[in-house]
Each structure stands twice: as structure tokens, then as C-alpha cells.
């Protein structure tokens, strides 16, 4: 394992499988009456969130607490960042306080990489701009493996706002490492420049892809990152790229539907699809805790040298 988790692309196949296997053992602990482990006693984990988050921040907090680490939650609201403190000065403050791990979410792509140069502790990227979100990709892979029993050869379609999605990029990189066949599906305006160099196939036609996939992963249309007009109307987007019940019926019988959350019900995913038995959306949240425990254990569990 590397000292930090900055990109899903940094993980070798062995690293990724080690995280998934470790998460599998840790997931069983979540079924026990006593869920707390003494493993990271005396270690400090800082949740440094410059962007809003429910799932990821809570999930990291629960994961660190289950391993007995001390957790410090930092959000920009109410901190000196609102007085104009720079990322570097914030980092130096954390360094002075002796953080063993810093879980960072930032609206700027690459912020965790910069932090890794300033802080001696382990940096975990919890989402940076439109770049990467490696723990989401890990928990998605873990969820697929639990539901479908394998990752090798799995046909995965990632559908929606690929352009603004850090989840898509991390998933493409990780799933390719793990031997899955990934295709990304989006309107041309929401496809990133250079997607041709990604290790995946590209399609603009959802209906052609659906009958040939084992996993379909719907992405949220990120209106907060959209300054221009990327598609004529929400209704038109939903008609062409939204997953509704008739579209879901064209999937193979065993296929599952995933969504990293938060969802726009009625936009990229219909409510009846989100609540169907094929949907793993709630499972993904539960699995997120086990995967983040595994990441924290593997980064902080050994000696620090």
C-alpha cells in the first residue's frame, strides 16, 4: 500500500484486492453487538471538509470511531477559512496538532495531492473537485463483488454526468485495474475531453448499452458545477439518459442498479427504480463504512516508518 490514498489509479490490483478483502472481514464486525475495535487507539483522524457532504463525512467518522481513533471534524463554516486562511496554513495547523490521517474533500481538483506535500500523516482523498473519489470507487467495487460474486469480466455501465463526476473517473480506473469491462454513457456535452484515453468504451446511447451490462451506475447531474447549458431541459435529459422502470426491464435478470448518492429522483433515476430490489443504494452506504475502516486500518495500522 502507498502511504496515501489520493487516486484510485495509484492502487495496484493487489492493493485494491487487499482493501476489498479487509473490508469483507470488517463488514462482519458491523453485524456484532459490540462494533468497536481497539485497533487505532491513540491515533487522530481529521475530517477536513471544504465541501458539503453527508454520506462520506459520516461514513469516515463512523469508520474511524469503530476503530477507536480520535476524530476531529473540520468544516469551513465556522473556521478561519472563512477569514481567508489558505489551504497551506490550515494544513500546517493540522500538522502542528499531530494528525495521523487527514481525510480531505475540496472543490479544487488536486488539493489532496498538495496537502500530501505539507502534512506528514496519511492523506485520504474524499473527493477533489471533478477529479477523483477513490473510496467511493472502492465501496462500489466491494458492493458489486458482494452482490454478484466477482469483478473480473463484469460489464459495468456508468451513466450520466461523466464530465463533472469524480466518482466516474475513480470507478473507471479502479474497475479497469480489477478486470471489469467499463463503458461510460452520457450526452456528448457531458463527456469529458480526453475520455478516449480512459480505459473504457464510450457510448451516447443508453438503450443500446443496457441489455449488455451486469451493473448500471447512475450518476447525479451536478447542477452546482454547471454554469452553462449542457442539455435543453431536465425532462429531455431524463427521457434520454434517465433510468426508469421500462428501461430497467431491458437489463439482464441479475443486473444491479447503483447510485453514489445524493439522488435526484425523477431526473437521472426514477423513484421506483431507486427503491427496487435491484437497487444497491442503501447497501452502498452501509458498505462505505466497512471499506473506509479497511482503508484507515491499512494506512494507519502498521508502524509509521
Q: Which of 30, 37, 70, 72 binds other proteins (CB under 8 A)?
A: 37
Among the listed residues 28, 32, 77, 83, the single catalytic one is 83
297 belongs to the binding site for other proteins (CB under 8 A): yes
In the complex, least distance from residue 297 CB atom to other proteins, rounded to whole angstroms: 7
Instruction: State yes or no: is 145 an active-site residue.
Output: no
Q: In the set 33, 78, 84, 153, which binds other proteins (CB under 8 A)?
A: 33
The yes or no reply on residue 301 touching other proteins (CB under 8 A) is yes
Question: Residue 304: how many CB atoms within 10 A of its CB?
Answer: 10
- CA dihedral sign, ordered 270, 107, 187, 11: negative
Site string for other proteins, 40-79 (x = CB under 8 A): --x------------------------x------------
Q: Which is nearer to other proteins, 19 or 217 (CB)?
A: 19
Active site residue 3: no
Least distance from other proteins to the Cβ atom of residue 32, Å:
6
Q: How far is the CB of 2 from other proteins (least distance, A)?
A: 12
Q: How far, in Å, CA of 94 to CA of 120, rounded?
A: 10
Cell numbers linked to 157 = 455501465
- Of the candidates 57, 66, 105, 220, the residue annotated as catalytic is 105
CB of 303 to other proteins, least distance (A): 6
Q: Is 298 among the residues that bind other proteins (CB under 8 A)?
A: yes
> Least distance in Å: CB of 69 to other proteins?
12
Provide the pairing of β-strand 215-218 with 70-75: unpaired
Determine which one of 44, 56, 135, 177 is catalytic: 56
Q: Which residue has the cell 471538509?
A: 49
Nearer to other proteins (CB atom), residue 28 or residue 77? 28
Question: Would you count residue 239 as binding other proteins (CB under 8 A)?
Answer: no
Q: Is 38 in the site for other proteins (CB under 8 A)?
A: yes
Does 1 interact with other proteins (rule: CB under 8 A)? yes
Q: Please tell me the distance from the alpha carbon of residue 185 to that of residue 205, in angstroms, as a whole number.
A: 7
**In the complex, least distance from residue 34 CB atom to other proteins, rounded to whole angstroms:** 4
55 in catalytic set: yes
Subset of 12-31 contacting other proteins (CB under 8 A): 14, 17-18, 21-22, 25-26, 28
Which residues are known to be catalytic? 55-56, 83, 105, 133
Return residues touching other proteins (CB under 8 A). 1, 14, 17-18, 21-22, 25-26, 28, 32-34, 36-39, 42, 67, 297-298, 301-304
Amino acid at each position: 500500500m502507498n502511504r496515501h490514498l489520493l487516486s484510485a489509479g495509484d492502487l495496484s490490483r493487489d492493493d485494491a484486492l487487499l482493501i476489498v478483502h479487509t473490508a469483507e472481514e470488517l463488514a462482519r464486525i458491523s453485524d456484532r453487538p459490540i462494533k468497536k475495535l481497539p485497533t487505532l487507539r491513540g491515533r487522530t483522524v481529521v475530517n477536513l471538509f471544504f465541501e458539503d457532504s453527508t454520506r462520506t463525512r459520516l461514513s469516515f467518522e463512523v469508520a474511524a470511531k469503530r476503530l477507536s481513533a480520535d476524530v476531529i471534524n473540520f468544516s469551513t463554516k465556522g473556521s478561519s477559512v472563512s477569514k481567508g486562511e489558505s489551504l497551506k496554513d490550515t494544513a500546517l495547523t493540522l500538522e502542528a496538532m499531530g494528525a495521523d490521517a487527514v481525510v480531505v474533500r475540496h472543490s479544487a481538483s488536486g488539493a489532496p495531492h498538495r496537502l500530501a506535500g505539507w502534512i506528514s500523516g496519511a492523506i485520504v482523498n474524499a473527493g477533489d473537485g471533478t477529479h477523483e473519489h477513490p473510496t467511493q470507487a472502492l465501496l462500489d467495487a466491494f458492493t458489486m463483488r458482494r452482490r454478484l460474486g466477482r469483478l473480473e469480466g463484469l460489464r459495468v455501465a456508468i451513466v450520466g454526468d461523466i464530465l463533472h463526476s469524480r466518482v466516474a473517473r475513480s470507478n473507471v480506473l479502479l474497475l479497469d485495474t480489477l478486470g471489469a469491462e467499463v463503458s461510460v454513457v452520457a450526452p456528448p456535452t457531458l463527456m469529458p475531453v480526453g475520455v478516449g484515453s480512459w480505459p473504457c468504451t464510450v457510448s451516447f446511447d443508453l438503450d443500446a448499452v443496457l441489455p449488455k451490462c451486469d451493473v448500471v451506475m447512475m450518476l447525479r447531474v451536478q447542477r452546482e458545477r454547471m454554469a452553462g447549458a449542457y442539455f435543453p431541459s431536465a425532462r429531455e435529459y431524463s427521457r434520454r439518459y434517465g433510468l426508469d422502470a421500462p428501461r430497467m426491464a431491458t437489463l439482464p435478470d441479475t443486473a444491479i442498479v447503483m447510485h453514489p448518492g445524493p439522488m435526484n429522483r425523477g431526473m437521472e433515476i426514477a423513484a421506483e427504480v431507486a427503491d427496487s430490489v435491484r437497487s444497491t443504494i442503501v447497501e452502498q452506504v452501509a458498505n462505505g463504512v466497512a471499506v473506509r475502516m479497511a482503508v484507515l486500518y491499512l494506512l494507519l495500522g502498521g508502524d509509521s516508518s
